[in-house]
Amino acid sequence: MSITIVNAKIKTVAILGGGPAASTLATLLARKKISVAIFHVPKRAPLIVGESLVPAIIPMLQALGVEEKVASFSTFKPGATFNLRPTDNFSFFFNKLIGKTATYAYNVPRDKFDDALLDTARAAGVKIVEAAANVEKVPGTDKIKLSAETLAAAGGFFNGQPDLIVDATGRLRLVPKLLGLSAQESSRGDSALFAHVDSTQLDHPGHVHTTRIDHGWSWRIPLPGRVSVGMVMGPEHMAKFGATKEERYDNLLKQDSVLQKVAGNAKRLTPVMEYQNYSLISGRITGENWVLVGDTAGFIDPVFSSGLFLGMNSAFILAEAISTGTPAAFKAYEKEARHHLETWQEIVTYFYDGRLFTFFRVGEILKGNPIIKVLTPHISKHMGRIFSGAASTSNYSLGLLRFGMKNGLRGEDPKELAVR
């Protein structure tokens, strides 16, 4: 269905959900003198996927005026390390890879990070309604509306229905479920288990570590006083390690041949969380008086820590579309949001099938070649955009990446570095 938002000034907005995308969008809209209410129940899972930021998110934190606060409770992140097998380990340092964007990032405790952004929205004048929002279809139309109970919970903030309803409920996907929207899901069907442990082996302080394990891959994210450790693999293999998620997690740490070396003696500090819906792009992102943002519009496998960047970046783009208020602006928002999601989905595929790091490996093999010596700084700068989070913002960088995946493997078999 085509986008049918009318060409009219949007003065009131209801945002469903209080995560980072919701808070970012609300703050930006409030600064544009648009009346905004966030419907948010202050209750969350013990842990949330998405604890490692990328440099491309730093300008957003600065624009929101919240970087200093985030830095105060986070771990400084100077780079990323990929452990693919004993002979193939790649570490990327942001101060060497990045051109004009930030040369660092942070690993963040998500409870404090989410609260910091919500507090910023509140300080900007956003109404925070501590109640779950209920939405209903308007019969015979593509419209939705807030239920009478939800409007009442806002305490008269809205004079009737808001001009626009934004679904930022994340994986709950309230509006898509109400409207029966289709979605494109990952073909891998992986599951993720993760928890916080006291300590692990780290090649470089502050680096997020992505490690190829016996089946699937694992992350290690250093946080203040602890390390987030997750495992991603097919559920059929994960089931072999126990009947409960706690048994599976604890046994994987001790029995996987890779994990036992880097985290076999780790003491688990938190409950184990499990995520099964791991990658999804909504078939529609906008409608007649509604729009999706952040994980509600789509979420991608977190191997490159792109999740919070995608969510908050979509909030910045959507804020401009709402301010403009035209059908063309919302069409452009949907196109750009989908571009970022699909681009990152493509890049993730290059990781899983082994092509991405086979390309880097070939670069190491040929580093003595005079032509490669000349080309390496240019290629490194643009390939570095993957690890900075900005890979989907440059057509040239993306084109160079695609060329490398097709023509730069020099006969090497990418299956050797593929994720099982």
The reply to whether 7 falls in a domain is no
For residue 62, the tally of other CB atoms under 10 A from its CB is 12
pLDDT value of position 279: 84
pLDDT value of position 1: 40
> What would the mean pLDDT of 362-382 be, rounded to a whole number?
78
Together in a domain, 251 and 195: yes
For residue 373, the tally of other CB atoms under 10 A from its CB is 11
pLDDT value of position 5: 53
User: How far is 292 from 40, CA to CA, in rounded Å?
Assistant: 16
> What would the mean pLDDT of 195-222 be, rounded to a whole number?
97
pLDDT value of position 397: 85
Together in a domain, 153 and 203: no
Together in a domain, 37 and 174: yes
Together in a domain, 168 and 114: yes
Residue 410 is part of which domain span? 353-417
Q: Is residue 4 pLDDT above 60, yes or no?
A: no
Q: Is residue 123 pLDDT above 70, yes or no?
A: yes
Work out the pLDDT band at 420, boundaries 50, 70, 90: confident
The reply to whether 231 falls in a domain is yes
User: How far is 403 from 401, CA to CA, in rounded Å?
Assistant: 5
> What would the mean pLDDT of 254-278 be, rounded to a whole number?
93
- HEC string of the chain? CCCCCCCCCCCEEEEECCCHHHHHHHHHHHHCCCEEEEECCCCCCCCCCCCECCHHHHHHHHHHCCHHHHHHCCEEECEEEEEEECCEEEEEEHHHHCCCCCCCEEECCHHHHHHHHHHHHHHCCCEEECCCCCEEECCCCCCEEECHHHHHHCCCCCCCCCCEEEECCHHHCHHHHHHCCCEEECCCCCEEEEEEECCCCCCCCCCEEEEECCCCEEEEEEECCEEEEEEEECHHHHHHHCCCHHHHHHHHHHHCCCHHHHHCCCCECCCCEEECCCCEEECCCECCCEEECHHHCEECCHHHCCHHHHHHHHHHHHHHHHHHCCHHHHHHHHHHHHHHHHHHHHHHHHHHCCHHHHHHHHHHHCCCCHHHHHHHHHHHHHHHHHHHCCHHHCHHHHHHHHHHHHHCCCCCCHHHHCCC
pLDDT value of position 275: 87
Residue with tokens 């643009």: 382
The reply to whether 152 falls in a domain is yes
User: How far is 109 from 51, CA to CA, in rounded Å?
Assistant: 6
The reply to whether 265 falls in a domain is yes
The reply to whether 4 falls in a domain is no
Residue 163: CATH number of its domain: 3.50.50.60
Final residue belonging to a domain, choices 324, 347, 370:
347
pLDDT value of position 159: 93
> What would the mean pLDDT of 160-186 be, rounded to a whole number?
94
Q: Please enumerate in sequence order all residues whose Cβ is within 8 A of that of 230, keeping only pairs 6 or more positions apart, or say none.
A: 49, 192, 193, 194, 195, 218, 219
Bridging pattern class, strands 164-167 and 12-16? parallel
pLDDT value of position 65: 98
Together in a domain, 163 and 270: no
Together in a domain, 64 and 136: yes
Final residue belonging to a domain, choices 222, 254, 278:
278
> What would the mean pLDDT of 96-118 be, rounded to a whole number?
89
Q: Is residue 290 pLDDT above 90, yes or no?
A: yes
Q: Is residue 7 pLDDT above 70, yes or no?
A: no
The reply to whether 396 falls in a domain is yes
Identify which has the larger pLDDT, 178 or 86.
Answer: 178
Laid out side by side, the sheet with 12-16 consists of 127-129, 35-39, 12-16, 164-167, 290-292
Together in a domain, 180 and 267: no
pLDDT value of position 98: 59
pLDDT value of position 181: 95
Mean pLDDT of the chain: 92
- Cα 310 from chain centroid? 5
Together in a domain, 208 and 336: no
Identify which has the larger pLDDT, 87 or 318.
Answer: 318
What are phi and psi for residue 269, nearest 5 degrees? -105, -15
Q: Is residue 96 pLDDT above 90, yes or no?
A: no
Q: Are 16 and 135 in contact (CB under 8 A)?
A: yes
Q: What is the pLDDT of residues 324-347, one digit of tens each?
A: 999 999 999 999 999 999 999 999
Together in a domain, 211 and 269: yes
Residue 228: CATH number of its domain: 3.30.9.100
The reply to whether 5 falls in a domain is no
Final residue belonging to a domain, choices 278, 294, 312:
278
Work out the pLDDT band at 99, boundaries 50, 70, 90: low
User: Of 70, 68, 87, 55, whose CA–CA distance to 20 is shortest?
Assistant: 70
Q: Is residue 22 pLDDT above 50, yes or no?
A: yes
Together in a domain, 100 and 130: no
The reply to whether 398 falls in a domain is yes
> Please, is 148 exposed, middle or buried when counting C-beta atoms within 10 Å of its C-beta (0-12, 13-18, 19+)?
exposed
Together in a domain, 341 and 371: no
Total domains in the chain come to 3
Identify which has the larger pLDDT, 175 or 386.
Answer: 175
- Considering just the CA atoms, what is the radius of gyration of the chain in Å? 22
Together in a domain, 172 and 132: yes
